[in-house]
Structure 1
């Protein structure tokens, strides 16, 4: 039993609305970086972190601008890589063109020849962001692709297999798949439906026959590429049969791929990550899985370092959405709180509007809400404060566009 001298009188807990207001600051984001009180808070947190993980809403113009500012802050103490939601083979194309003055044209030409072979980094603003990060970070900087390849990548992967000079059995099998792929790609371009692509139509028997031939005389590089094709196919097909298992497989792939990149790098080095918000969260994410964000957080702790996880959303605006194979994006107006999964943001947006700062970005430092969390904190916020360290809200998002799409 504690002595009277040491006994503590429980402090009165402030209501959630008050604590949330205390955690909120304003933020300005432009081509020159982050400004205002929120910018100072973020800059300090970034300087302390070895890994910064951005969880985002995809294909806007504004969030890449924010991420470029984070690149600039990290580059001041050395930035080794930018890990993004594309496959390793797509990342090779990005890195080959990253510092070229005709980068956009070359990636556009690649996408015209290989429709839907890459996701996100074929976005104009995403590509500009990566190139600016490379300029800021120096010659060792690379883009790392941790995801499976995109569903249109089969033709490109098969081309790379042939370029690796397989033996006669593997070559014949790869050429058979390439003939199927050309037919499937033409159908997909005509219909706009990804479901017409090879990845969704090649049979188990055809894949097994090719796998046997590749094993016979394909060689290391061909085997690596074929395994990538098979893994990509399994993940996408799995979405139609068992989404939870497919997402788990995808998360494990991203973790393994990160370790491969890190094994070829110097330790310790700083890395920036930018993924959809469900992948970037710590702990159990919105899919009830431990995804990449949790893996990064645990790795940082094991190294005696820090990771910083920032969720970035727009209050409203226009979303860029997938419109079909080889098509330019389609657009759709949105208000974030109309989505049931993000209705909890009304608490923060209400404070912003009440304070008259609706035209500015907003930062909520979630770390300050973890100590003695208010008893009346809504369950969605209670989960969010442990999944992320900071919440950033842009006043409005506008859509990016795709390179190489009409």
Structure 2
């Protein structure tokens, strides 16, 4: 079976990036590596990209064609960096003294030698691997094996697996090693050493006792141990010269940190339990938000991901002010392809009101007046200063049309404002009378709730089903389409609130409602837009997961991910998580919010987050790019952690905030 060569090609790209960024300031190097990793990840997941060997050839072709651009970029960045004071350059680890040969020149030479060696090894089926004259294994035997002609490219490099039979010993060759074999063996050894070091291939296993290994199959997989021949420096002219050049190249590579001497697998330590953490740290970045703008090493990672995604989902714990702060920065980071549409966790009525206020300079005053008229639970989330400020910033960043889609049910206290809006429309007398009666019952329910403090007295929960049915019937005869739509949203919300939101079936019903409303809004927008709408969605954290979320639901996040694939587009799933802080909650109707402290470090339910919590930055926000962790996740983790797996495969970008502050309620 032919192996997938994309990991080999991608590894070469990463190795080349490490080479030509060597010696740059850490921020520049980290940003460049992050950009390359993002490009490779997107290429791998692009449904239009070729597969198999063609994909590897495409990656290698882009690598070779892009080398001049990479060198030009390196010289530009290097020139910029060298305008900095010598002390700053030295602190960044760059060479500041005179030197005969540049480290970058040596690194580029090493890259050329390595690529040539690997391509030479890949292009040939290879001569016999044999023990040179004068070198014998235990018992006076050598090993001889030829790679089969139908072996894949990766097999020919070093992953060729012998047949299930034992390796047969052959007599030691008495003749001198041919020059071609010496050259090939030297180049192959150099290519193998470098490829093993940078992780392109698995190291070959060396037998500790040649005689016993040659006659007994492996106990783990019933395969023979493949023994590599000992190379000799007694090869004639060309082989010896090339061997010396290869040795020097590998030595220089080791000196600059590209490779290190390999050890036989028999002496290698077992895999470190911290491999997952090591991979996590490779994809950890500092992130800051100042005045609506992203900064820090993680800014470029996030901006690149936003630019490549048609749908960006931001998940939050409600009531934490840092989420709308990040949301505004996401809108401003979209650059030329702006977010003209935002979907939020409010009902259609609330979203319509918020959209009109967000566009107005006096929008905050309009929202405050609305809250005074309908003081309790008329909005679910966007009745805080930080949330509304985010909406206004996103509306300004759109530089044109800006639309809000409400995909959720209406808020607990939305009965009053919805019925008031219906009464302002053109109604027949029977419909107007029915709506006035319902509006009076809403006011009565609110007074009872203020006395009892319980939300159960609010009209959205206490409304009589027969009253609602009669109201809907008269609106069908005497109401406008807008009135009927608003009333239907009220009834839908009432039916949801009658059952606990934690009920499994009720939660699934809510998820279906969000998906249905999204596809309806998107279809209408796409029908009139010149290009497919780019949408920002902001919801509670569990709603935005790919796949099943932590409570085993398939929410709007998974629907968007699947929908994006059908559109040949991409979705980006971001979760903001405050490590500690306080969040508001409302114990009684009519009473101001109280603050509930939280601390993930002390929460037993957050044990699965320990790799992130233990390795977060203490002062800045920490951005963890979780996408690269999905490759070989189980091997990296060396154990089963379903909660962590749900996070890694469900969320693309995790942003950890050291301390979350509660949002400020508008009165």
Question: What TM-score range do you get, normalising by the shorter chain?
Answer: over 0.9
| Residues 340 and 400, structure 2, Cα contact 8 Å, conserved in 1 | no
Q: From the superposition, tell whether residues 103 and 85 of structure 1 become closer, same or farther in structure 2 (CA, over 3 Å).
A: same
Structure 2 CA distance for partners of 1:220 and 1:344, relative to 1, 3 Å: same
Match of 2:654 in 1: 391
Correspondence 1:201 to 2:465:
no
TM-score (norm: length of structure 2) = 0.57
Q: Deviations over 1:54-109 (max 9, x none)?
A: 11111222221111111111243121112111111111111121132322222111
Q: Distance in 1 between matches of 2:326 and 2:532?
A: 25
User: TM-score, structure 1 length as denominator?
Assistant: 0.92
1: CA distance, partners of 2:308 / 2:618 = 30
- CA RMSD in angstroms comes to 2.1
Other-structure match for 2:103: none
8 A Cα contact 2:449 2:458, kept in partner? yes
Q: Is the 8 A contact 2:279 2:629 kept in 1?
A: yes
How many residues align structurally?
A: 399
Residues 327-385 of structure 1: CA deviation (Å, up to 9, x unaligned): 43211221024444433222211112xxxx31111111110111111242522111111
Q: Quote the residue 1:180 is aligned against.
A: 441
Higher Cα radius of gyration: 2
Structure 1 position 348 matched with structure 2 position 612: yes
* Residue 343 of structure 2 corresponds to residue 83 of structure 1: yes
Cα distance in 1, alignment partners of residues 483 and 405 from structure 2: 20
Question: 1:277 — aligned with what?
Answer: 541
1:191 deviates by 3.6
Match of 2:328 in 1: 68
Is structure 2 residue 641 aligned with structure 1 residue 381? no
Deviation of 1:277 (Å): 0.6
In 2, Cα distance between the equivalents of 1:32 and 1:123? Answer: 17
- Give, in whole Å, the separation in 1 of the partners of 2:588 and 2:400: 36
Partners of 2:588 and 2:393 in 1: how far apart? 29
Name stretches of at least 5 consecutive residues in structure 2 with no aligned partner.
3-146, 161-200, 204-270
Q: 1:189 to 1:105 in 2, by over 3 A?
A: farther
Aligned to 2:579: 315
Task: Report the secondary structure of 1:275's partner residue.
Answer: strand
Tell me the equivalent position of 2:417.
156
CA contact (8 A) 2:292 2:326 kept: no
Contact residue 180 and residue 198 of structure 1 kept, 8 A? yes
- Tell whether 2:306 aligns with 1:306: no
User: 1:36 and 2:299 equivalent?
Assistant: no
Q: Residue 550 of structure 2 contacts residue 646 of structure 2 at CA under 8 Å; is this kept in 1?
A: no
Alpha-carbon distance in 2 for matches of 1:56, 1:254: 17
Deviates more, 1:339-348 or 1:303-312: 339-348
Alignment of 1:99-118 (within 5 A): 99-114=359-374, 115-118=376-379
Whether the 8 Å contact between 2:287 and 2:620 is mirrored in structure 1 is yes
SS at match of 2:592: coil
Deviations 1:191-232 (A, max 9, x none): 432211011111222222223322333342222111111100
Counterpart pick for 2:427 among 162, 166, 170: 166
1:131 counterpart = 2:131: no
Paired with 1:179 and 1:64, the residues of 2 have a C-alpha distance of 36
Q: Distance in 1 between matches of 2:202 and 2:428?
A: 74
Q: Name the counterpart of 2:256.
A: none
Contact 2:550 2:643 in 1 (8 A): no
Question: Do the aligned partners of residues 389 and 108 (structure 1) sit closer, same or farther apart at CA in structure 2, a change above 3 Å counting?
Answer: same
Using the alignment, how far apart are the partners of 2:434 and 2:482 within structure 1?
Answer: 16
- Offset at residue 317 of structure 1 (A): 1.1
Distance 1:123 1:83, change over 3 A: same
Residues 11 and 365 of structure 1, relative CA distance in 2, 3 Å threshold: farther
CA contact (8 A) 2:311 2:570 kept: yes
Contact 1:169 1:216 in 2 (8 A): no
Does 2:499 align with 1:238? yes
Q: Is the partner of 2:320 in helix, strand or coil?
A: coil
Segment of structure 1 superposing worse, 259-268 or 125-134 = 259-268
Q: Is the 8 A contact 2:358 2:392 kept in 1?
A: yes
How many angstroms does 1:263 deviate by? 2.8
Deviation at 1:136, TM superposition (A): 1.2
**In the TM superposition, what is the alpha-carbon distance from 1:173 to its structure 2 partner?**
1.7
Q: How much has 1:236 moved relative to structure 2?
A: 1.0
Superposition deviation, residue 323 in structure 1: 4.1
Could you tell me which runs of 5 or more consecutive residues in structure 1 were left unpaired when the two chains were aligned: none
Match for residue 216 of structure 2? none
More strand as a share of residues: 1
